[in-house]
Amino acid sequence: MESKYNLKKDFRFYVQNQDELVKKYDGRVLIIHDQVVCDDFASMHEAITKGNELFGPGKFLVQKCEPGPENYTATYHSPAYRPVAQ
């Protein structure tokens, strides 16, 4: 039976090692699988294509390697909720 891929583990690996990874790969797009940087690329497209070849869809993390928490954090804004009168 095939083991389930753990994306959270690879993401935690990236966050915990971000400073060191940025020193080596700043601006590059990384493929991370099983807490190992497998390769780095200039574009997201290249990384996804290679990751699919190596591991199959959905079985690896693709992460642009840049400093700071804004690199891996997204903030979404929506209009204030207001109930509609009926």
* Predicted confidence (pLDDT) per residue in 41-82, tens digit: 999 999 999 999 999 999 999 999 999 999 888 777 666 666
Report yes or no on 40 lying in a domain: yes
Report yes or no on 71 lying in a domain: no
Report yes or no on 1 lying in a domain: no
Strand partners, 61: 32
Give the pLDDT score at 29: 97
- Report how many domains make up the chain: 1
For the chain, strand residue ranges (E) read 29-33, 36-41, 61-64
pTM for the whole structure: 0.82
Strand partners, 39: 31
pLDDT 10s digits, 48-57:
999 999 999 9
Report yes or no on 75 lying in a domain: no
Domain span holding position 12:
7-65
Report yes or no on 79 lying in a domain: no
Report yes or no on 83 lying in a domain: no
How much of the chain, in percent, has pLDDT values that exceed 90? 76
Report yes or no on 76 lying in a domain: no
Report yes or no on 72 lying in a domain: no
